[in-house]
Amino acid sequence: MMHQLMGEKSVIAEYKRLWQARKWMKKNEPFLQVWHAHLGYSLDLFKAFEKPNDIHTIANRYLYKEDLLKRWVEVGLAIGHLKEKRGKKIQSKKTMVVYFSKTSNQSVGILLKEMMELHIPTLLTYRNLLQGDEIKILEEDIGHTVAETSGLLESVMFPKIVGVVKKQKVKRILDVGCGHGGYLHRLHKKFPDINLTGIEADPDVQKKALEKAKGTDISIIQADFMNYVDQDQYDLLMMNNLFYYFSFEDRLQLFKRAKQLLVKKGYLLIMSPLVSSKHGQRFASGFNSFMSAHEEMYPVPTEKELLSYAKQTGFIQLSCIPVIREGGWYVLVFKKK
């Protein structure tokens, strides 16, 4: 009897183990979709198969290995990114061409580039980093990649900026860490009479921002904000996706510099992912792990931390509103006393 019970428990334990294995296999399916979309974007394969074509022709045209291209196509058919047409020709789904082609103005592929080429490689080395190993994580072109992915947030963030500009009759705006100047261009289009200035520390990113600003009155300055001096003051100062580049000590200095550059009762607008907040903590905590793995990056702030800096430097917090809940992204507005 005892042996029979032990045998039954062993069988149950084995079934539970198998169930766990199947559950974790299932969790890998979303990653397969991301991998397939990223490869399709990075090599512009969805565009290559925009019209029905055979694998052999595409492989020869772009000098790709035909057997590996065939495997990518098989995955695409299985997960629904591609469809098979007459004569066994392959065609991309229309949505994949629209959102994952480099030439599409609606493309979101740059987001997958950041995830697959920056975030995931970092997280895969986390085991070694956690044990004290020194590993150089590839950061080539990180400035441009982050600048472009930040641009994806502009559509949800911009209405918040417009609200402040209209309500407070803002005339001069400074965008700190302006990237390629996306917010400044949107503001220029809607408020052509406002004086717009952007500061960008990365010289290569600033150069591209300058090129985009040709033919406008937008000023793009290459400078370290901590040492930036301006004779005039601004009505509104923006800091978007900035705080994880600064240590806790330097973050207080950011508020101090903002206070110096703002007019009395001027506004400081910050957009950032927040940890320990109500929304998006899965993403925010993962993002925090990525940042902590880089020597020149720092943890994502909390609302409490930013409020503490504000109180120390003479700012009043007016609002803290989630703009992308699933990502933990918030927009915070402070007013200089």
Q: List pLDDT tens digits, range 109-148.
A: 988 988 898 888 888 888 888 888 876 655 556 666 666 7
The closest alpha carbon to 299, from 311, 284, 280, 310, belongs to 284
Sheet with strand 329-336: strands edge to edge:
219-222, 195-200, 172-176, 234-240, 262-273, 329-336, 315-324
Lowest mean pLDDT among 8-12, 83-87, 179-183, 328-332: 8-12
**pLDDT given at position 289:** 86
**pLDDT given at position 266:** 95
**pLDDT given at position 232:** 83
> Which residues, in sequence order, are CB contacts of 242 under 8 Å at separation 6+?
176, 177, 254, 270, 272
What's the chain's average pLDDT?
A: 89
Residue with tokens 């697959």: 116
> Cβ(322)–Cβ(154) under 8 Å?
no
Q: Is 88 exposed, middle or buried (0-12, 13-18, 19+ CB in 10 A)?
A: exposed
**pLDDT given at position 98:** 97
**Other C-beta atoms lying within 10 Å of the C-beta of residue 208:** 19
Distance CA 42, CA 40 (A): 6
Lowest mean pLDDT among 20-34, 111-125, 204-218: 111-125
> Cβ(266)–Cβ(322) under 8 Å?
no
The two tokens of residue 164 are 């402040």
The two tokens of residue 9 are 């428990």
Q: What is the mean pLDDT of residues 259-282?
A: 90
Question: At residue 268, what are phi and psi to the nearest 5 degrees?
Answer: -115, 120
Domains of the chain in start order, with CATH, are: 12-106 (1.10.10.10), 146-336 (3.40.50.150)
**pLDDT given at position 295:** 74
